Structure 1
Amino acid sequence: MINILLLEDDKKLLNHYKDVVENTFDDCQVFLATTGKKAITIAKSQKIDLMLLDMELDEEKKVLGLDYANMISIIQQDIDFMIISGFSEYLRDAGDVEPYYYFMKPVNDAFLSRKLQEWEILKSKNVKQTQKNIRLQTESGMAIVPLNRISYIEKMERKIKIKTFNKEYVCKDSLRNMMTKLDDRFFHAHQSFIVNMLHIESIEAQEDRTWKIEFKGIEDEALLSRYKAKAFFNVFEGVSYESIS
């Protein structure tokens, strides 16, 4: 069973989101909260898999759902978030909890349902993999980064950049050595890039026979070498390279 927590101060919207969630999942339990305090109380007593939350919880915009999401992420470290807001200005701050998706109001029901289904599929894949962290000696000090937060790793001369939804870590290392620390969700797609297969949003062929990779939740792009394409597509979502080349 999937446990979903909804935080929305508008009761009409709250019940509407509840209907969408219940119509999307065959087996789920939905918990409702109109205040951040209520959401925290629920999170302390129930195991929550996914939380959908409104960003603004009062007319004065003094109380943000993100403030409570940060607190709940400490209580339940495996929880995922989807954020709903009428304003894009909060997108950068939302990176603190690295949400799976950031919806702009008004939310299309079919699109919301599709993203919920997508999350469920990726969640089931992640559950099968043991949660791992990678320890990095970065330019600003030691950092411990969960593998499931990493979108891609890029070679930059004698350094590498590790990119998550909202942060970048730079350290002295090589892509070859990094591959020994990663698991099978990562693919060495190009001489300059390692990519997390589960974070890929789209792949687009380029005129030089390379491929441009775009990721969920970030504007950055990576490259897939034409020499790596066949192996890549044979493992990426079960797509056959021959069927698209």
Structure 2
Amino acid sequence: MDVIRIAICDDEKNIRAYLRTLVRKQDSESEITEYASADEYLSGKMEHDLLFLDIEMKGDTSGMDGMSMAKQLRGMELDRQPVIIFVTGYEKYVYDAFDVDAFQYLLKPINEQKFAEVFSRAAGQILSEAEQKKKTLIIRCGSESRAIPLDSIYYLESRNHKVVLYLKEGELEYYAKIRDLEEELAGQFYRIHRGYLVNLSYVEGYDKSEVTLANGDRLPLSKRYDDFAAAYLQFMQ
């Protein structure tokens, strides 16, 4: 992905124009769409990579503010959830921003240097995730080869000299050795147990005995807890 799809949602026309100007000053290819309310954004049904969202904004009919809109967005099943940067005139909302997994918040009046720093980090994350999605695992099934996107794999299980891929669309079994895959997929995947290799992107929680994944599966953690925790934190950073 070379072009970042950006939405600016603010009920103040001058703020939208200013944010558009700031985005254009950054060293990044982008497509910008403006919205004057939460209602307008949600009815547009477009998916974006990055969303600048005013917290205090009121909707035309629903009265929905930016925080309520963000909560609704996070509850939707989207191919891609946008990186949200809140734009607000009040610091009191900063803790609420964590509840909707906001990337950052910018205080009005917006400081250009602060904007550039936040935008650079957000764009870097977006582009990095896009590159990651391009990565695939090539497997051999019978007489044909298949390319499996890594972001479609929750985890792999070693079973009876085969490997089972637990995918978003189901399970897929083929002949392979999990130790070879551990080496091939190092970085994004981690061997938490002699029989399991998990995609760190989909780890939702863990303790000293098990790891919980985004699909709800709980897997045993038999490796050193500290080693796994360090690997997971390094991946997330």
- TM-score when scaled to structure 1? 0.54
**Cα distance per residue 1:58-93 (max 9 Å; x no partner):** 4xxx64212222333426341221112233433343
Whichever of the two has the greater Rg, that structure is 2
Match for residue 82 of structure 1 among 85, 90, 109? 85
Aligned equivalents of 1:194, 1:175: Cα separation in 2: 15
Task: Look up the match of 2:113.
Answer: 110
Task: Look up the match of 1:194.
Answer: 231
Task: Look up the match of 1:24.
Answer: 26
Task: Look up the match of 2:171.
Answer: none
**Greater shift after overlay, 112-121 or 102-111?**
102-111
State the 1:27 CA deviation.
2.0
1:67 pairs with 2:104:
no
In 2 relative to 1, CA 193–92 (structure 1 residues): closer, same or farther, beyond 3 Å?
Answer: same
Task: Look up the match of 1:176.
Answer: 223
3-state SS in 1 of match to 2:110: coil
Task: Look up the match of 2:126.
Answer: 123
State the 1:35 CA deviation.
0.8
- TM-score when scaled to structure 2? 0.56
Instruction: Count matched residues.
Output: 169
Unaligned ranges ≥5, structure 1? 136-143, 163-168, 178-187, 201-245
Aligned equivalents of 1:21, 1:32: Cα separation in 2: 12
In 2 relative to 1, CA 148–191 (structure 1 residues): closer, same or farther, beyond 3 Å?
Answer: closer
State the 1:120 CA deviation.
1.8
Aligned partner letter, 1:128: E
1:12 pairs with 2:14:
yes
Aligned equivalents of 1:17, 1:190: Cα separation in 2: 42
3-state SS in 2 of match to 1:5: strand
Q: Percent identity, aligned pairs only?
A: 15
State the 1:20 CA deviation.
0.6
